[in-house]
Chains A and B, each alone.
Chain A
Amino acid sequence: MTEQLDAGLVAGRIAESGQVSEPSAEREMGRARRRKEDARLVTGRTMWTDNIQLPGMLYVAFLRSPMAHARITGVDVSAARSLPGVVAAYSGRDLAEEQGSLPCAWPVTEDIVIPDHPPMAVDEVRYPGEAVACVVATDRYRAADALEAIAVDYEPLDPVLDMTEALAEGAPKVHEAGNRAFTWKFAGGDIDAAFRDAPVVIDRAYVQQRLIPTAMEPRAVVATTDGDGFTLYSATQIPHVLRVMLAMTTGIPEHKLRVVAPDVGGGFGSKLQVTAEEVLALLLARRLGRPVKWTESRSEGNLTVHHGRDQLQRIAVAADRDGRIRGVRVELLADMGAYLMLVTPGVPLLGAFMYNGIYKMDAYDFTCTGVFTTKMPTDAYRGAGRPEATFAIERAVDELAHELGMDPVEVRRRNWITREEFPYTTIAGLTYDSGDYEAATEKALAMFGYDGLRAEQADRRERHDPVQLGIGVSTYTEMCGLAPSRVLGSLSYGAGGWEHAAVRLLPTGKVEVVTGTSPHGQGHETAWSQIAADALGVPFEDVSVLHGDTSVAHRGMDTYGSRSLVVGGVAVLAACEKVKERARELAAHLMEASADDVEFDGGRFRVRGTDEGRTIQELALAAFAAHDLPGGFEPRLDAEATFDPDNFSFPHGTHLCAVEVDTETGRCAIRSYVAVDDVGSVVNPLIVEGQVHGGIAQGVGQALFEEAVHDADGNLVTTTMADYLIPSAADLPEFTTDRTETPATSNPLGVKGVGEAGTIASTPAVVNAIADALRPYGVRDVRMPCTPERIWRALAEAEVTVPAQSRAAVPSTSEIAPEGGAR
């Protein structure tokens, strides 16, 4: 039944049915339904992976390297093996023959260096926390105790911590092949012409600090076997991808492996991975013939859940004096960490097409070098490449505005793609299908009270108020909804980007929707129910959504990259349309009419111009009974559909942030935050708002609080939640959000992705606001996270000392930012 449905075909069917294109009072689309998921979550009747208890289950604990880089000269697990309750203990050497290598699915260049990545280190450790041995015991306390009885001899090697130094001649090597993983380039237009004689060049370096994703649920794995097949329960975002990759790497045949993602407590990209612990749990279950469970501690997680960001950015913007951008040149160093994991090298490339932002320009040039260091590998973290790109261009555009003495909104207005210009093919080669930057910006400015805040800012500067006001602007777009398969293939990604759905009408008229997406907080059970209820004319409550188990949802590409609705939700719609066509055929047969004369409205098929009709529930029962079916009609109302859009999704919006910065203490507080996002048509505004809120909070976290810090020896020092600070309720303001709705043209629902938008937009909004507050003091930039200490130091070291008496006199651009000045 599976077939590829293109958007046009689906759109045609919907238009014909009149269900989605003509809103009615009863429509589910756009309705703020409270979530179906909540009942089990607010009552504690959840199934987190760590909740699973199986008969005879054993607990795994890993001994982890206390060094960033060392040769392993000996591991002795014998003492651990003899302790009470210990069933087994293994070193990497013990598992070397069967553990294989963890996969990288995104070889971005032909000559990329992809080192072997043993799940448990055998000869050498290359990042702190890398597993070197394990214990399997009858309870988690005994397993942890026994780790202390394992002796490991290390011969320390030089850590490789700084990307620039790592690329220097004679630098210590992470791998024999050297520290350069790849260099990837993209060019559009004549960049030299754009920069030649450019009246204004803004040339800046920004540090995208290393982040720890910090999903609230720590990772956990349960592996079990009946001697033939295997079941792996994992706190993962990607049960389907994981099954395929594990089959390829462990030698367990795909049809003998079932992967289940039970309730999963957040991911943000960190659970988009094939982890060492998943592979090792399967191997241990196979060796021991008993179920095994491993649940990480938060400290283990901070060390060994893949990290995010960690790029050094150099961005140059060439512009005319009237503010028109001529070209953008970007040079990136991207820290891969010690190994290339599932999509490690692809992350910076997801930003490669976004440094031009929402702006028109003549030329664009991008170079990214992936660098190995002795740190935990980086990989996808909410936004994955696009927050970095958006930060750089939005920071640089604010700097351009300042350089030209122009309002930052005005500079953007002079460069952005206007609403009449869509669809618009950018200098980076993407075709933005729809957008209305004017509308979102106007709305945001009004909600924010932009002019009033600017007046207050001027007043505070005038009064030498020690607490200065800063206003940050961020007008973003992003490419998401990962798909389309063809484009992902052209970028050397190892898989496609389609999504699959199956819809089954049960004999009693209830509906099962099976989706290949794998929600872990996004509310798919609710939103997919709304889509199916509209399409089939059944009550919202009559729809169940099944997901996250490869033996239930056979096909899928899972949840990441803000793809679930724009690919998976549309697949649900397409499958519903197919079911409806089968129901129409059956209805026509039962009513002795031509299918062309049978109309569908509100869940009922009716012969046009008559009162005779059948509800979809009656038809479900009739199909089940199979007493009177059309010739060749199989007795079921089921269908499957796969959707593979022909373009990415391009949500956009305008985020405005006002900060108050105490220039005496460096304390920075967000006073107000307004976000107007355009995510196209909306299925559930409640869920959309929640995604935006949470996204903004994570972007604010990067701007103000979060950083994975290593000491000079390469040890991670931010291993607990007391050291790695994610925002608390007391750290954040109430976010004011609204939307504009410019439907996407790349799918029949008109929807765009929303999961990452807030994170992509908010980081530059906050840092632009801080820079705006501090410019009169000669501060050009504050490195993230902009802690009070960093702000205080930036003020102390500023090029211009502004005595209290003369603070009102804002120094001219050339005085405070010589290297960013006109050339």
Chain B
Amino acid sequence: MPRITVSVDGVTYEEEVEPRLLLVHLLRDRLGKTGTPVGCDTGNCGACTVTLDGRSAKSCSVLAVQADGSEVVTVEGLARDGRWHPMQEAFHAEHALQCGYCTPGMIMAAIDLLRDDPDPSEEAVRRGLEGNLCRCTGYTNIVRAVRRAAAEMSRVPHERAPGAAEGREAAAS
């Protein structure tokens, strides 16, 4: 069985895995990182989104062996010194979640979105999050939250945004 080395939320793991094991199952079933849920198995809903070497990836559509040598950040690894990432704060402040099942993936995708477009329009947020589905909120508050976080992160650049512009460094720290 292949042996892989992968860093998840700053902790390095060496694991023997079946080649077919999905990254999300490595995270959830082997490493106990259950903060990242599975919503659809087909890469449509985005609930399982993590960052892989700083870029968002749907972990149900990545094999664990493909993550060999990579840095993975999940929603569990965003807080710094007990303080939430601005995106987490913004989702809370704008009531951008209800059941919360899509939230980990939505937050990770939104952080990646701001990396490409630090000040997105409403339209850009909607297009940028097209691959992350939410059944509860109707998205109005999610859009507000992402724009709120963008404003906050531009005010305090990078201070608390490990998953965004400095994904690798933060994950390795």
Contacts and interface: CB of A to CB of B under 8 A. Distances in A.
A521 B92 contact: no
B13 interface: no
Contacts of B39: 216-218, 298
Contacts of A265: 37, 99-101
Interface string B130-153: 111111111111110000000000
Nearest to A721: B44
A727 to B, nearest CB: 8
A37 interface: yes
Contact of A694 (B42, B75, B88, B136): B136
Contacts of A722: 42, 44
Contacts of B101: 48, 215-217, 265-266
B133 A726 contact: yes
A42 interface: yes
B143 A729 contact: yes
B102 to A, nearest CB: 5
A727 B20 CA distance: 31
Given A217-B39, A696-B138, A735-B140, A43 B84 contact: yes
A48 B133 contact: no
Interface residues of B, number: 59
Contacts of A805: none
Interface on chain B toward A: helix, strand, loop, or mixed SS?
Answer: loop
B139 A686 contact: no
Interface string B60-78: 0000000000000011101
Nearest to A42: B88
B47 interface: yes
B154 to A, nearest CB: 21
Interface string B107-139: 100000000000000100111011111111111
Interface string B86-97: 001001110101
B4 to A, nearest CB: 17
Contacts of B74: 44
Most B CB contacts (10 A, CB to CB) among A35, A522, A728 go to A728
B79 interface: yes
A299 B37 CA distance: 16
A697 interface: yes
Contacts of B98: 266, 521-523, 690-691, 694
Contacts of B134: 216, 729
B94 to A, nearest CB: 9
Contacts of B142: 729
Interface in A518-534: 520-523
Nearest to B85: A42
A216 B134 CA distance: 7
A378 B40 CA distance: 21
Nearest to A265: B101
Interface string A722-736: 100011111010110
A729 B100 contact: no
Contacts of A523: 98
Contacts of B97: 38, 41-42
B44 A50 contact: no
B34 interface: yes
B169 to A, nearest CB: 21
Contacts of B103: 41-42
Contacts of A696: 138
Contacts of B122: 734
A720 B93 contact: no
Contacts of A694: 98, 135-138
Q: How large is the interface on A (under 10, 10 to 19, 20 to 34, 35 or more residues)?
A: 35 or more
Contacts of B129: 728-730
A549 B131 CA distance: 34
Contacts of B161: none
Interface in A685-702: 686-687, 689-691, 693-698
B99 A44 contact: no
B164 interface: no
Interface string B20-41: 1100010011001111111111
Contact of A216 (B29, B35, B135): B135
B159 interface: no
Contacts of A48: 34, 37, 101
B50 to A, nearest CB: 10
Contacts of A299: 41-42
Contacts of B100: 37-38, 40-42, 46, 263, 265, 521
Nearest to B134: A216
Contacts of A46: 34-35, 37, 100
Nearest to B91: A42
A51 interface: yes
B76 A45 contact: yes
A730 B137 contact: no
A380 interface: no
A364 interface: no
Interface in A489-525: 520-523
A681 B139 CA distance: 25
B45 interface: yes
A214 interface: yes
B92 A35 contact: yes
Contacts of A522: 98
Contacts of B107: 42
Nearest to B125: A729
B28 A51 contact: yes
A686 B96 CA distance: 10
A217 B44 contact: no
Interface in A577-628: none
Given A217-B39, A726-B133, A721 B45 contact: yes
Nearest to B100: A41
A34 interface: yes
A5 to B, nearest CB: 30
B38 A50 contact: yes
A215 B98 CA distance: 12
B56 to A, nearest CB: 15
A801 to B, nearest CB: 36
B42 A42 contact: no
A52 to B, nearest CB: 9
Given A42-B97, A264-B99, A729-B129, A218 B38 contact: yes
A728 B135 contact: no
B143 A689 contact: no
A152 to B, nearest CB: 23
B135 A266 contact: yes
A726 B141 contact: no
Contacts of B88: 42-43
B14 interface: no
Interface in A201-233: 214-218
B18 interface: yes
Contacts of B125: 729
Contacts of A758: 138
B21 to A, nearest CB: 8
B167 interface: no
Contacts of B45: 216, 298, 721
A323 to B, nearest CB: 33
Given A520-B99, A522-B98, A729-B143, A698 B42 contact: no
B98 to A, nearest CB: 4
B104 interface: yes
10 contacts: A41-B97, A215-B101, A217-B37, A218-B38, A295-B38, A686-B95, A697-B139, A727-B139, A728-B126, A729-B134
Given A42-B100, A694-B137, A730-B127, 16 more contacts: A41-B97, A48-B34, A141-B20, A265-B101, A266-B136, A268-B135, A299-B41, A690-B98, A694-B98, A694-B138, A697-B139, A721-B42, A729-B126, A729-B130, A729-B139, A732-B139
- Identify the 10 closest CB pairs spanning chains A and B, nearest first: A44-B35, A265-B101, A41-B100, A521-B99, A697-B138, A693-B138, A721-B44, A521-B98, A51-B34, A266-B99
Interface of A: 34-35, 37-46, 48, 50-51, 53, 139-141, 214-218, 263-266, 268, 295, 297-299, 520-523, 686-687, 689-691, 693-698, 720-722, 726-730, 732, 734-735, 758
